[in-house]
Amino acid sequence: MKTRSIWHNLLRGYGIVNRLTPTYIPLAFVTSFIKAVQPFAVLFFSARIINELAGARDTGRIVLYAALAVGIGFILKALNAVATRRIATLNSTLWARFYFFLGNRYMQLNYDQIEDAANNELLADIEAKTNGNGLGILRLHWGLPELLQPLFELGASIALVAGMFAAASSHEQNFVTSPLATGLLFMLVLLILPFTYAIKKREQRILQQAIEVNPKANTYIHFFGDYMQAKNAAKDIRLYRQAPAIEEHYRKSDGLSYWYKFFDLLGKNNALAAAMNAALAGSVYLFIGLRALYGMYPVGSVVQYIGAVTGAVGALAALIGVLGNYMTNNRYLDLVFRYLDLPDNMRKTGGDRQIPQGELAFEFRDVSFKYPGADRYAIERLNMKLHVGQRLAIVGMNGSGKTTLIKLLCRLYEPTEGMITLNGVDIREYDHASYMRIFSVVFQDFMLYSFSLGQNVAASESYDAKLAEECLATAGFGEKLKEMQNGLQSYLHKDFSDDGVEISGGEAQKVALARALYKNAPFVVLDEPTAALDPIAEFEIYSRFHEIIGGKTAIFVSHRLSSCRFCHDIAVFHEGRLIQRGSHDELVGDRGGKYAELWNAQAQYYVSA
């Protein structure tokens, strides 16, 4: 994929830095300016003081220069301290803000984009390059003072060295004092720059190899870093002795040899740069010293010009390095922008129709669906109607397409062929957000977050406590709630509170059910809602199922066929096809049918020997 121009990426990247840490850019300008100018201000006044000492010796002036040097130095230092403190706070929060920014984008992606491995790999790559190597947006953030400071230093050096040229024209006595000699000195300075450029370029090439040598290296480190500490992996790690396998992956994934090469080169380059700088500084001292001997400059100006010329060279070398960094970083900025520019399918396909008032009826019209990259249909030519108030149970063997059907209904995926309609209109024509409001779903792999119980039930920061308690009681969590010291305010898990409560899998399922009830949507979809419940809790839920669901429509996926009996209507799926539909008695009566086969297979465990 083509990398976008560095200017485009820089502008967009700094736009993001500004959005994440709004005062950072002006503060970076202030601190860089102060840091750059401060030594030159001291240099300037020191030169004036020496000139006075060597010349007119006017005490008043000397005191004035000293006072100005100290006063300006003090003001600059104080300003710098304030700005630097603020910058340090912003630096420490940027990382978190950036991850929140990436996470927010992730939440906006369409579900099929999340299940797309390429998108996940892209995100892992961005996180790894950001976290492991400080590249991408973070690099722009850290890099700004590195860019600005030498720019200001260059400006200040040029301002201080200007007098050197003015003096040159009026003092020509010999070669040393001639303008040609000034020109040669600058040629020497300019000659060093291409060397510096070549050195930095090589450094950047090796750095890039080190970063790219094993594109998965950081992804592995990231993944295993999380996995090794994941609470829900702890049991498997111990029982399947996964630690050696993890170590092996870690070992394979390291690209250390390139890093050694990079640091080795960096050391050599630094030594070479130091030698070049020393040679240059020597030449500058000699040149300016000789000119002072010929009376071309007052002695104080020697200090000023030497400081300014060497400062300018240092600033130029630093700028070359920083620009190299920016160029290397461009491809990592591109990764971030590729991720941010992933198409917004969810909004694009959503029309703006509002959900009709009154009765709602869904229809699957010849719907087929294949997961991206799959060669087999997960749902094939499905024709099915669903009316308000209906209780539909969906049964079938593992992998028969039950959960996929729910994902299609909830618009997490779009049909590959055919369409799903609501009151005769393609569901894609409805406004996405209002469409989502008509479903309360409990998925098999539901998630609760480590916030308070009440916030979990309401899925929001604030909640109606009475309603939350009622829903919890209806879902069978009433007794447990009474035991919880802080009631609805009890935190689940200990991530955010030491008093957090650990709940069992079945209790969590009850909370998830309460969350679905709290939402009070007209369609309730329950995918294996009682798989983790004990037999008594399960019996309670099913015996009160009609009371719990009320006038709502319920779609209910379960492997426990006995719990489907209360549904008016049972749909049997097999290999992605709807193969039977009817009441329990009708389906059991069809002795050669799949339902009877599943029913009999399950029933035999309950028949006493």
Select 142 or 371, whichever has its Cβ closest to ligand ATP: 371
Closer by beta carbon to ligand ATP, 321 or else 401: 401
The end-to-end CA distance of the chain, in Å, is 67
Q: Which is nearer to ligand ATP, 403 or 486 (CB)?
A: 403
Alpha-carbon span 369 to 462, nearest angstrom: 39
User: Within 10 A of 205 (CB to CB), how many other CB atoms are there?
Assistant: 14
Least distance from C-beta 396 to ligand ATP, angstroms?
A: 6
Cβ proximity to ligand ATP, 200 vs 402, nearer residue: 402
Side by side, the strands of the sheet bearing 439-442 are 439-442, 523-527, 553-557, 391-396, 569-574, 577-582
Question: Which C-beta is closer to ligand ATP: that of 149 or that of 400?
Answer: 400
Asked if 558 is part of the footprint of ligand ATP (rule: CB under 6 A), the reply reads no
Closest distance between ligand ATP and the C-beta of residue 395, in Å?
9
Nearer to ligand ATP, 369 or 430 (CB): 369
CB of 115 to ligand ATP, least distance (A): 5
Does position 415 bind ligand ATP by CB under 6 A?
no
Q: Which two tokens stand for residue 433?
A: 């957000």
Looking at the Cβ atoms of 337 and 573, the one nearer to ligand ATP is 573
Site for ligand ATP in 317-376 (CB under 6 A): 371, 374
- Cα separation, 75 vs 68, whole angstroms: 10
When binding is defined by CB under 6 A, the residue of 378, 412, 475, 571 that contacts ligand ATP is 378
Residue 399 C-beta: closest distance to ligand ATP, Å: 4
Tell me how far the alpha carbon of residue 382 is from its chain's centroid. Answer: 39
* Number of residues counted as binding ligand ATP (CB under 6 A): 12
User: Of the candidates 73, 399, 478, 487, which one interacts with ligand ATP according to CB under 6 A?
Assistant: 399
| CB 378 to ligand ATP: min, Å | 4
Task: Considering only the stretches 139-147, 196-204, 399-407, 531-539, report the one whose residues sit in contact with ligand ATP under the rule CB under 6 A.
Answer: 399-407
Binder to ligand ATP among 48, 291, 402, 411 (CB under 6 A)? 402
For position 172 contacting ligand ATP by CB under 6 A, the verdict is no
Q: What's the CA dihedral at 555, 557, 560, 563 to 10 degrees?
A: -10
Shortest Cβ 76–ligand ATP spacing (Å): 60
Half-sphere exposure of 582 (CA within 13 A, CB side): 13
* Shortest Å, Cβ 335 to ligand ATP: 24
Compute the distance between CA of residue 368 and CA of residue 71 in angstroms, rounded to an integer: 79
Please report whether residue 580 would count as binding ligand ATP according to CB under 6 A: no
Nearer to ligand ATP, 156 or 525 (CB): 525
The site map against ligand ATP for 379-398 (x = CB under 6 A) is -----------------x-x
Other Cβ atoms less than 10 A from the Cβ of 386: the count is 19
Closest to 525 measured CA to CA, from 354, 350, 363, 392: 392
| Shortest Å, Cβ 601 to ligand ATP | 15
Binding ligand ATP (rule: CB under 6 A), the pick from 38, 301, 330, 404 is: 404
Long-range contacts, 490-493 (Cβ 8 Å, 24+): 490/452, 490/453, 491/450, 491/451, 491/452, 491/453, 492/448, 492/449, 492/450, 492/451, 492/452, 492/453, 492/456, 493/450
- Does residue 114 bind ligand ATP (CB under 6 A)? no
Stretch of residues binding ligand ATP (CB under 6 A), selected from 242-250, 263-271, 352-360, 401-409: 401-409
Contact map string, positions 73 to 112, toward ligand ATP, x by CB under 6 A: ----------------------------------------
Question: Cβ contacts of residue 72 below 8 Å, gap of 6+?
Answer: 41, 45
| Binder of ligand ATP out of 46, 72, 76, 115 (CB under 6 A) | 115
Q: Which is nearer to ligand ATP, 34 or 367 (CB)?
A: 367
- Closest contact distance (angstroms) between CB of 576 and ligand ATP is 7
- Rounded Cα distance between 162 and 305, Å, is 9
Pairing of strands 391-396, 417-422: unpaired
CA distance 269 to 359: 76
Position 582 contacts ligand ATP (CB under 6 A)? no
| Contact between 579 and 598 (Cβ < 8 Å) | no
Binding-site member from 401, 415, 454, 476 for ligand ATP (CB under 6 A): 401
Residue from 383, 382, 405, 381 nearest 393 by CA = 405
Alpha-carbon distance of 492 to 598, in angstroms, equals 38
Least spacing, CB of residue 315 vs ligand ATP, in Å: 55
Yes or no: say if 523 and 550 are a contact pair by the CB < 8 Å rule. Answer: no
- The closest alpha carbon to 142, from 315, 7, 21, 273, belongs to 21
- In the complex, the smallest distance separating the C-beta of residue 420 from ligand ATP, rounded to whole angstroms, is 15
Site for ligand ATP contains 594 (CB under 6 A) = no
> Shortest distance, CB of residue 370 to ligand ATP, whole angstroms?
9
Quote the least distance from Cβ 514 to ligand ATP, whole Å.
23
Place of tokens 């900025």: 333
Tokens found for residue 481: 């709630």
The one-letter amino acid code at 448 reads L
Which 25-54 residues touch ligand ATP, going by CB under 6 A?
none
SS3 550: coil
As measured in angstroms, the least distance from the Cβ of 331 to ligand ATP is 30
Binding site for ligand ATP (CB under 6 A): 115, 371, 374, 378, 396, 398-404
